[in-house]
Each structure stands twice: as C-alpha cells, then as structure tokens.
C-alpha cells in the first residue's frame, strides 16, 4: 500500500510467533497438522485481514468510474446481504448516510424476498448494493432477479468475494447490474465469515469516498496498522479470556459498533456450535430488559466509543453493571480506557490509534477482536474452527430453498 510502516505479512507473523506464546503454539505446527486439527483456514483468514484490505482498496479504487456512474443522481441507497453480509452493510450505513446526504438503509435479503420493493426506500431513483461472500445462497440472486423485474428505478451493484458464484455469473452482463469481485483471498474457506466480512464492509465503505480515493486508501492503511498491532499485542490475552468459565456472552456497541456487536455475537455462536449462547445490544437498550440475560457465567464484551458524549453514556452502563455485580467479567475494547471502568477480573484490549479515525470507521477492528475470541473459544470447546457445526446444522453456503412469487 506504499507505506513503509506496514510490515510484510511474513515479517509480522514471525514477530507474532516470537512475542506471543499461544501464537507460537498454533502457528508453529506444520500446515498438515493445523489442517488435521481443523483450524488452519480460520486462523490464516483472521490474521491475514490487514493485508487483504490493501488489495480490496486497490480493487475498489479501480472500479471508481463505474461506481460514480451507478450513483449519479440517486436519491436513495440500500445495502443488502444475509447473515454476516447484512451486518457488514449495517456497519457502513451511518457514515454513508452522513456523507452522501441521502436516504441510506441496510435491508436483509430475506426482507427483500418477502416484501420486495415495499421494503426499499421510497425515494427514486435508487441504488441497491448486494454484498455476498459466495453469492451462491438462494436469496442472493433471487433478490436481484425480483427487483430487476419489479423496481425499474433501482440500479444494482453486486460486491462478492466469489467471481464464479451464481450471483456474479448470472448478472455480470446485465446492463443494470455492475458486478465487482473482490480478490480471491477474501473468499474464506472456513465455515464462518472473517476476511470476507471485513473486506465486504470496507468495499461498501468506498461508496461514500468516491471523490476522495486518497482518503480511502489512507483509511485502509490506518486500519491495517491498528489491527496489526492489536493482534500482535493481544493474541495471548484473547486466548486467555477464551479459556474463562463462561457459557454466555454479551456484546455491547453503539452506532456502527452495534452492527459489529451483532457480527461478534454471531461469530461466538457459530464457532462454539451454540455451546456459548450470545446476545448483542446497544448500551442504552441493555437496561430495557436484556440485562436480565446476564448471569454469573456471562462474559460481557464492551466496545467503547471514542466520542466523549457517547462514551459517557456507555461508562454509566458499565458502572451500573459493576454496582449490581453482574456477569463473570467484562472485556473492554477501545483506546484510553479509564481505570474507573475496570473492576477486578476484567480484561482490557487497548487499541492504539483507534480514536483518530472515529467510531464510524472502526467496526472492522472490533470485529477482529471478536473473531479471535470466538476462534480460541472454539478450540477450548474441543471443536474445529474450520468446520465447527456439529452434525452439519449450518453450512458454509445456505442450502437451496424454494423462492415464492410475491402476491
């Protein structure tokens, strides 16, 4: 990415293995042994992310002129996906809405299938951006096909990690669909989305920075540096936290970081095959009933805002949890975390540099913390991170199901 301060991935991994005992253990095994133990792909896909972001940045900037044409004159923007892809869309809605000054929403693929144009913003013309890892789940192409027929004033952009997926192949030549495929390494081989999630998120983020490509590149570089340092400094700490005696986990976040909390909760649920149950909520919403979820076996993961006003509300909630002696412990993620927020047994994940880009730009960093925490918990449960779902209850690609005609 043209920054001398960025290590090569090989040099960074070597330093990580030298500095973090758990990293030496998991990376130190031969590749064949890592695959036999079922964690090779997930570990690589989590840790490669700061470098994949550079390639996604290049790909999106190369698509700039086409995207400018796609967005010319639109009065509304809708982003869609299913599961993690939907949460990636949610993570960027707030900054995109503020930058573009138009109606901007995240709408699940399922809602679009069931309600069609009724669930889209009312303002026309509009643009629908579909995010997908494989593009092979039934709703991916089904949504585009349905809305091409019923919503002529909506243009379409598809962003997918799989150039051979049905979503990319079906619509690549259509005049109202612009297909962008991300670099091959973003298409995770693991069951759960890790590299694909953060790269789809950053790809969608470019929609608000089409006239500032240098600023977009700088943002991707900054997030890469922050995340490299985060993993390198906290690998062992996250492994230790994952070994604690918790059976429930709560993930708290505000604004764009609430969408990151939704993804974090899903990662823990998927990678533990449901053995650790999860809940995600906003800080202010947590008091209105969901706090009853917290028991003595509950880990509370708190994504702390860099904004002083938002942080004040968040710290009030953390102090309330401490007064009521709720939960097993807290994991507080952020920069310049005050001592007053930390009680005995809590863990702090200090993310240097997080304040400068601001809350709207940092969901990818919080999600990487959650990915590693879930990865290590999966190992603690005796499961295989590459395929943690016992009995094949969930699969890497959602199986086919009937698509029904709207009445």
Segment 237-249, tens digit of pLDDT: 999 999 999 999 9
Q: Which residues pair with 278 in a beta bridge?
A: 249
CB atoms within 10 A of CB 404: 9
CATH of 51-211, one of 3.30.1370.100, 3.40.50.2300, 1.10.10.60, 3.40.50.10490: 3.40.50.10490
| Alpha-carbon torsion, ordered 21, 27, 29, 35, to 10 deg | 140
Low-confidence stretches of the chain (pLDDT beneath 70): 1-6, 393-401
Segment 35-62, tens digit of pLDDT: 999 999 999 999 999 999 999 999 999 9
How far apart CA 54 and CA 66 sit, in angstroms, is: 20
Give the pLDDT score at 401.
64
Give the pLDDT score at 135.
86
Helices (H), 195-342: 195-205, 213-242, 256-271, 283-286, 308-323
Give the pLDDT score at 7.
82
Extract the tokens encoding 260: 């990151």
How far apart CA 159 and CA 171 sit, in angstroms, is: 11
Backbone dihedral angles phi then psi of residue 233, each to the nearest 5 degrees: -90, -20
Alpha-carbon torsion (134, 137, 138, 139), positive or negative? negative
Count CA atoms within 13 Å of residue 59 on its CB side. 22
CA 180 to chain centre: 19
May I ask the CATH class of domain 215-392?
alpha beta
Give the pLDDT score at 84.
96
C-alpha distances in Å from residue 114, one per residue of 72, 119, 137 = 29, 9, 16
Does 51-211 match 215-392 in CATH topology? yes
> Is 0.85 surpassed by the pTM of this model?
yes
Pairing of strands 277-281, 248-252: parallel
Contact 178, 67 (CB under 8 A): yes
* Domain extents in the chain: 51-211, 215-392
Backbone dihedral angles phi then psi of residue 330, each to the nearest 5 degrees: -110, 150
The candidate with the shortest Cα–Cα distance to 26, out of 6, 9, 46, is 46
CB atoms within 10 A of CB 148: 17
Q: Reduce the DSSP state of residue 219 to 3 states and report it.
A: helix
What DSSP line would sit under 139-157, residue for residue? HHHHHHHHHHHH-TTEEEE
Question: What is the separation, in whole angstroms, between the first and last Cα of the chain?
Answer: 50
DSSP letter, residue 329:
E
């Amino acid at each position: 990415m043209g920054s001398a301060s960025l290590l090569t991935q090989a040099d960074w991994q070597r330093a990580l293995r030298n500095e973090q005992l758990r990293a030496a253990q998991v990376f130190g095994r031969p590749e064949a042994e890592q695959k036999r133990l079922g964690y090779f792909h997930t570990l690589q896909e989590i840790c490669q992310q700061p470098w994949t972001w550079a390639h996604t940045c290049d790909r999106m900037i190369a698509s700039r002129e086409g995207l400018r044409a796609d967005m010319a004159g639109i009065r509304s923007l809708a982003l869609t996906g299913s599961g993690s892809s939907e949460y990636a869309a949610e993570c960027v809605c707030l900054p995109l809405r503020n930058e573009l000054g138009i109606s901007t929403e995240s709408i699940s693929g399922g809602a679009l299938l069931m309600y069609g144009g009724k669930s889209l913003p009312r303002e026309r013309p509009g643009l629908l951006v579909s995010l997908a890892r494989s593009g092979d789940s039934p709703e991916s192409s089904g949504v585009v096909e349905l809305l091409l027929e019923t919503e002529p004033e909506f243009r379409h952009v598809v962003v997918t990690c799989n150039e051979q997926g049905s979503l990319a192949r079906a619509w690549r030549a259509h005049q109202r669909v612009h297909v962008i495929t991300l670099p091959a390494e973003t298409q995770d081989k693991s069951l759960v989305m890790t590299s694909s999630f953060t790269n789809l998120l950053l790809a969608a983020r470019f929609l608000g920075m089409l006239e500032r490509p240098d600023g977009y590149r700088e943002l991707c570089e900054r997030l890469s540096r922050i995340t490299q340092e985060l993993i390198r400094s906290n690998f062992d700490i996250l492994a230790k936290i994952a070994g604690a005696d918790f059976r429930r986990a709560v993930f708290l976040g505000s604004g764009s970081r609430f969408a990151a909390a939704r993804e974090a909760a899903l990662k823990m649920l998927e990678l533990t095959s449901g053995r650790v149950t999860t809940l995600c909520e906003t800080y202010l919403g947590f008091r209105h009933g969901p706090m009853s979820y917290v028991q003595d076996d509950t880990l509370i993961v708190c994504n702390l805002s860099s904004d002083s006003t938002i942080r004040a509300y968040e710290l009030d909630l953390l102090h309330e949890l401490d007064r009521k002696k709720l939960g097993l412990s807290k994991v507080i993620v952020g920069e310049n975390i005050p001592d007053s927020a930390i009680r005995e047994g809590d863990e702090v994940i200090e993310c240097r540099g997080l304040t400068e880009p601001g809350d709207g730009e940092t969901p990818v960093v919080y999600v990487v913390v959650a990915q590693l925490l879930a990865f290590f918990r999966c190992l603690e449960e005796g499961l295989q991170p590459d395929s943690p779902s016992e009995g094949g209850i969930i699969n890497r690609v959602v199986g086919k199901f009937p698509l029904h005609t709207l009445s």
